[in-house]
């Protein structure tokens, strides 16, 4: 078991990892309107630049499991931070060169993708069962904090250089770079802090080829009886119900977490509020308020997750989120189909609907998705299973982000939000099939879908 000092260190680094992930996806929301206002790129190119981070996440998800098993969890955390430090200068200095900018954004996304796989895995394998939910809550809270800080920085940049619809060409270029440069400081802290982390005891045991109970973590290190490992062992394991069911549930949860539109909101929220009626810097402040709501509610969710349970929060969260999405779609339907004039009032209605949606997202899916993903996956398939599930998550998000503006141009904002709401209904249905995992050790979670164990309990 790790000492109290080590637990505090890994929680602090987990927080910085979540912060990196939040900044990675949040920073473009404030920068994108300047790129749009410059007129140098088509709607399709802008969507692809925004979605490039998600494409990088896809690349990361294809290799994250293999690299995490080969190099270890700690080294992958450090590598993720290093990739971010390389990507930011490329993104900041390449506005005007589509392919260079696109490559920088892909590298930025790979950094976030590796962090999204490895950090929850690392926390699951190192934290005691009774605080595992709160530990993952730190990651999610700091993810939300990263979104808030990125939005706040966007407000400061817009105040200093002018909003995208008022600044001149030179100010727009300067504002674009300013939205990215500041992010290097916290990521540098993550890089050097990650070097001090202890390695996951579960990974060390697995690497040494031992089986049985982990003396350090107190969790099961069992890898299965066949002795197979890697992709071949993963494929063979999926022939057993105890592995295929949690794998499919985790894939569905992560897929619906994106088809309900959260990545799109994160990347385009300033533009969405502009379209709803807000002008100038008001849209930037609206974005900040919505993301601040997400962060504050995450605090409450982190306190509830180990008391009320993951499944309860997922059901409540997906239900409320779906209502909020339908409300946003209704406002845009009134603007686009029934001749209602977009103004500050419709902008306020849209922002309040975003508040409602964001509260329930943060209460359930925002926090529980990472926890469910890491807890449902048994050790034998955890690294590759999490990587494949994240691949599906990132692939869907990339598709939505890359075609977001062309879709809106062709069908309007309302069609997009009603599409998200329909997926919210499907997400709620999926949540009803997820078993409760709160308070269970990794050894107990290993047998959660074990037919023999379930039969034994029924007979007793």
- pLDDT digits over 418-435, tens only? 999 999 999 999 998 888
Distance CA 339, CA 326 (A): 19
pLDDT for position 6: 67
Residue 460: inside a domain, yes or no?
Answer: no
Number of domains in the chain: 1
Residue 191: inside a domain, yes or no?
Answer: yes
Is the per-residue pLDDT at 384 higher than 80?
no
Q: Which two tokens stand for residue 267?
A: 């990347």
Top pLDDT among 276 and 43 is at: 276
Buried b (16+ CB within 10 A) or exposed e, 49-81: bbbbbbbbbbbbbbbbbebbbeebbbbbbbbbb
Distance CA 415, CA 407 (A): 9
Q: Which residues pair with 213 in a beta bridge?
A: 220
Residue 213: inside a domain, yes or no?
Answer: no
Residue 214: inside a domain, yes or no?
Answer: no
Q: Give me the mean pLDDT over the 381-398 stretch.
A: 76
Reference 447, options 240, 235, 210, 217; nearest CA is 240
For residue 82, what are the contacts with CB-CB under 8 A and spacing of at least 6? 191
Q: C-alpha angle with apex 290: 154 to 252, nearest 5 degrees?
A: 110
pLDDT grade for 460, boundaries at 50, 70 and 90: very low
Residue 122: inside a domain, yes or no?
Answer: yes
- Dmax over Cα atoms in the chain, in whole Å? 75
Is the per-residue pLDDT at 308 higher than 70?
yes
Top pLDDT among 375 and 179 is at: 179
Going 380 to 381 to 383 to 384, the CA torsion angle's sign is positive
Residue 215: inside a domain, yes or no?
Answer: no
Give the phi and the psi of residue 220 in degrees, each rounded to 5.
Answer: -70, 135
Q: Which two tokens stand for residue 96?
A: 């005007």
Buried b (16+ CB within 10 A) or exposed e, 374-383: bbbbbbbbbb
Give the phi and the psi of residue 122 in degrees, each rounded to 5.
Answer: -65, -45
pLDDT tens track for 152-162? 998 999 888 88
Buried b (16+ CB within 10 A) or exposed e, 177-214: bbbbebbbebbeebbebbeebebbbbbbbbeeeeeeeb
Is the per-residue pLDDT at 222 higher than 60?
no
- What is the average pLDDT value for the chain, to the nearest integer? 81
pLDDT grade for 103, boundaries at 50, 70 and 90: very high
CB 449 within 8 A of CB 246: yes
Q: C-alpha angle with apex 291: 288 to 295, nearest 5 degrees?
A: 130
Distance CA 1, CA 333 (A): 55
pLDDT tens track for 191-202? 888 888 878 778
Count CB-CB contacts under 10 A for residue 264.
23
CB 451 within 8 A of CB 241: yes
Residue 221: inside a domain, yes or no?
Answer: no
CB 372 within 8 A of CB 328: no
pLDDT for position 63: 85
Top pLDDT among 250 and 326 is at: 326
CATH number of the domain residue 413 falls in: 1.20.1250.20
Is residue 452 helix, strand or coil?
A: helix
Cα distances (Å, whole numbers) of residue 299 to 19, 289, 366, 395: 15, 16, 11, 29
For residue 409, what are the contacts with CB-CB under 8 A and spacing of at least 6? 43
Q: Which two tokens stand for residue 36?
A: 């749009």
Is the per-residue pLDDT at 444 higher than 50?
yes
CB 442 within 8 A of CB 124: yes
Distance CA 374, CA 363 (A): 18
pLDDT grade for 357, boundaries at 50, 70 and 90: very high
Q: C-alpha angle with apex 278: 272 to 284, nearest 5 degrees?
A: 70
Read off the DSSP letter of residue 131.
G
Q: Which residues pair with 220 in a beta bridge?
A: 213
CB 81 within 8 A of CB 183: no
Q: Which two tokens stand for residue 446?
A: 């290993």
CB 106 within 8 A of CB 56: yes
Distance CA 214, CA 441 (A): 12
Residue 224: inside a domain, yes or no?
Answer: no
What is the span of the domain harbouring residue 401? 4-200+230-455
Top pLDDT among 458 and 337 is at: 337
Q: Output Rg (C-alpha) for the chain, integer angstroms.
A: 22
Is the per-residue pLDDT at 133 higher than 70?
no
Distance CA 212, CA 219 (A): 9
Is the per-residue pLDDT at 60 higher than 80?
yes
pLDDT for position 427: 94
For residue 376, what are the contacts with CB-CB under 8 A and spacing of at least 6? 246, 247, 249, 250, 434, 437, 445, 448
Count CB-CB contacts under 10 A for residue 274.
23
Q: C-alpha angle with apex 90: 87 to 92, nearest 5 degrees?
A: 105
């Amino acid at each position: 078991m790790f000492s109290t000092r080590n637990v505090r260190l890994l929680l602090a680094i987990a927080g910085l990892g979540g912060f990196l992930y939040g900044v990675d996806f949040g920073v473009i929301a404030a920068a994108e309107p300047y790129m749009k206002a410059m007129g140098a790129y088509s709607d399709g190119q802008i969507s692809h630049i925004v979605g490039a981070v998600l494409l990088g996440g896809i690349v990361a998800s294809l290799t994250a499991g293999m690299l995490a098993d080969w190099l270890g969890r700690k080294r992958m955390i450090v590598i993720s931070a290093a990739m971010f430090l390389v990507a930011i200068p490329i993104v900041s200095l390449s506005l005007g060169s589509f392919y260079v900018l696109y490559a920088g954004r892909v590298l930025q996304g790979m950094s976030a993708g590796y962090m999204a796989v490895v950090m929850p895995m690392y926390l699951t394998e190192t934290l005691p069962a009774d605080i595992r939910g709160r530990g993952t809550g730190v990651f999610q809270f700091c993810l939300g904090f990263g979104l808030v800080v990125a939005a706040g920085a966007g407000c400061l940049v817009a105040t200093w250089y002018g909003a995208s619809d008022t600044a001149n060409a030179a100010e727009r270029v300067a504002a674009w770079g300013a939205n990215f440069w500041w992010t290097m400081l916290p990521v540098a802290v993550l890089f050097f802090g990650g070097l001090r982390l202890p390695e996951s005891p579960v990974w060390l045991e697995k690497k040494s080829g031992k089986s049985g109970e982990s003396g350090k973590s107190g969790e099961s290190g069992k890898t299965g009886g066949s002795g197979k490992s890697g992709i071949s062992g993963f494929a063979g394991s999926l022939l057993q119900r105890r592995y295929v069911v949690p794998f499919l549930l985790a894939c569905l949860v992560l897929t619906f977490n994106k088809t309900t539109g959260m990545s799109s909101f994160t990347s385009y929220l300033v533009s969405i509020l502009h379209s709803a009626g807000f002008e100038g810097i008001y849209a930037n402040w609206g974005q900040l308020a919505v993301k601040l709501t997400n962060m504050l509610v995450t605090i409450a969710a982190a306190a509830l997750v180990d008391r009320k349970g993951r499944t309860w929060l997922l059901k409540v969260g997906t239900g409320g989120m779906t209502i909020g999405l339908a409300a946003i779609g209704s406002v845009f339907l009134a603007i686009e189909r029934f001749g209602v004039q977009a103004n500050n009032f419709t902008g306020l209605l849209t922002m309040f609907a975003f508040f409602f949606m964001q509260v329930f997202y943060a209460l359930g899916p925002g926090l529980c998705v990472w926890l469910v993903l890491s807890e449902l996956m048994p050790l034998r398939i955890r690294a590759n299973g999490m990587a494949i599930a994240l691949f599906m998550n990132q692939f869907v998000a990339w598709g939505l982000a890359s075609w977001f503006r062309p879709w809106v141009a062709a069908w309007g904002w309302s069609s997009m939000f009603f599409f998200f709401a329909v997926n919210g209904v499907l997400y709620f249905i999926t949540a009803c099939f997820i078993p409760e995992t709160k308070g269970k050790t990794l050894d107990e979670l290993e047998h959660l879908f074990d037919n023999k164990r379930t039969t034994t309990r029924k007979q007793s």
